[in-house]
Amino acid sequence: MPELGTLEELPLDYRNGLTANNLVPLWPNLRAALPYDIPSRRTRPMVWHYADIRPRLLQAGELTPIEKAERRVLVLANPGLGLENMQATPSIYIGMQLILPRETAPNHRHSPSAVRFVVEGEGGFTVVEGEKLPMEKGDLILTPSGLWHEHGHAGAGPVVWLDALDLPVVYSLEASYCLDGKPQTVRNQPDASQTRYRRAGLLPYTALSRPRNAYPLRRFPWKETRAALLDLAGVTDANEIVQLAYVNPETGLECLPILGFSAIMLRPGETIRPSRRSASAVLHVVEGEGEAQIDGVALTWGGQDTMAVPTHARVEIANRSTTRPAYLFQVDDAPMQRKLGFYEEFQG
């Protein structure tokens, strides 16, 4: 490893001349930009406990009417990345959104892609391009880049969901913006995408003779995901992770371009050690409790808690229960990294 020259070694008038001309010498900054072996990471391995979020979110419901918020959200901001930057990891935005009975979150569309993962409550719904999608606990709802979406609540009690967006990526590209719209006309075909793409391996026949649909399936019911995980566990070796990827049923590929979504089941008493990899991730606990070690940081997790996993991190997650499975929902930026050609998994 060559010893690189420092900024201080350069004569002051030379440095001032560079600055005055908007020039920067690379060599004093090269190692920071390109560290050896492992990237430098500011993302802190951490957990947000739902017990700390929930009362503050309900308080926001009292303090701020929906009309004054548009979206009533508390953002899970990683302190290592600066709270004001609203990043859970470098690429992933995570918020917890509250909607109260009869409230509506108005129609809009934007360049970042979003998903909702329902945390609690009944009667919430999202309308995506005229299709009304029910929101039950654990359901995954897609609102891809550019599609109109608005939310409502026709039930009783608070409804809370987790928003995951690729906002940090789109914002850093100076490409993040939004358009407001009038309320959508709701087609009399609620949840039509879920009806059309009900089962893996079965497509509407006409899909075979037209270009692939970018976003054919907009709601993934948790009831189905959970049952599929339990079935998968029955045919998965003890040393393999029980994990399902949410995909586009027409292409078999990830359902959004930047962020990827998957569901993990930890069998009773199981500890998983996924390969160290170049992607960052967020883990949200649907059911169960246990411990995690993320780059040596010990975390304790339970239902509805959310964890941040930096890139290249060593991860160990243990289900504390020896009688019941635990279920996690994972968001990561592997789809973007694969497309850009630098996604890696490491041995050891």
Q: Which of residues 213-272 bind ligand 1HN (CB under 6 A)?
A: none
- CB nearer to ligand 1HN: pick between 110 and 218: 110
Which of 46, 47, 164, 167 touches ligand 1HN by CB under 6 A? 167
Q: List the interface residues with ligand 1HN, window 55-74 (CB under 6 A).
A: 71, 73
Contact string 83-122 vs ligand 1HN (x = CB under 6 A): ------------x-x-------x----x---x--------
In the bound state with ligand 1HN, the residue whose beta carbon lies nearer, of 71 and 276, is 71
- Longest CA–CA span in the chain (Å) reads 73
| The residue to which tokens 């979504």 are assigned | 261
Piece in contact with ligand 1HN (CB under 6 A), picked from 161-169, 203-211, 213-221, 277-285: 161-169
Nearer to ligand 1HN, 139 or 163 (CB): 163
For ligand 1HN, the closer CB: 150 or 254: 150
Number of residues assigned to the chain: 348
Judged by CB, which is closer to ligand 1HN: 73, or 135?
A: 73
Q: Print the binding letters for residues 131-160 with ligand 1HN: x by CB under 6 A, - otherwise.
A: ------------------x-x---------
Query: Cβ closer to ligand 1HN: 87 or 337?
Result: 87
Question: Minimum distance from CB of 73 to ligand 1HN (Å)?
Answer: 5
- 3-state SS of the chain? CCCCCCCCCCCHHHHHHHHHCCCCCCCCCHHHHCCCCCCCCCCCCEEECHHHHHHHHHHHHHHCCHHHCCCCEEECCCHHHCHHHCCCCCCCEEEEEEECCCCEEEEEEECCCEEEEEEECCCEEEEECCEEEEECCCCEEEECCCCCEEEEECCCCCEEEEEEECHHHHHHCCCCCEEECCCCCCCCCCCHHHHHCCCCCCCCHHHHHCCCCCCCCCEECHHHHHHHHHHHHCCCCCCCCEEEECECCCCCCECCCCCEEEEEEECCCCEECCCEECCCEEEEEEECCEEEEECCEEEEECCCCEEEECCCCCEEEEECCCCCCEEEEEEECHHHHHHHCCCCEECC
Q: How far is the CB of 95 from ligand 1HN (least distance, A)?
A: 5
277-297: burial string, b at 16+ Cβ within 10 Å, e else: bbbbbbbbbbbbbbebbbeee
Closer residue to ligand 1HN (CB): 164 or 308 = 164
76 binds ligand 1HN (CB under 6 A): no
First-to-final CA distance of the chain? 24
Closest to ligand 1HN by CB, 95 vs 290, is 95
Which is closer to ligand 1HN, CB of 105 or CB of 313? 105
Cα–Cα separations (whole angstroms), residue 21 to 10, 11, 118, 300? 16, 16, 52, 52
Q: How far is the CB of 176 from ligand 1HN (least distance, A)?
A: 8
Contacting range for ligand 1HN; rule: CB under 6 A; set: 162-170, 260-268, 313-321, 327-335: 162-170
In angstroms, give the least distance from the CB of 20 to ligand 1HN.
39
Which range binds ligand 1HN by CB under 6 A, 33-41, 163-171, 205-213, 287-295? 163-171
- Amino acid residing at 221: P
CB of 108 to ligand 1HN, least distance (A): 6
Total of chain residues touching ligand 1HN, rule CB under 6 A: 12
- Interface residues toward ligand 1HN, by CB under 6 A: 71, 73, 95, 97, 105, 110, 114, 149, 151, 163, 165, 167
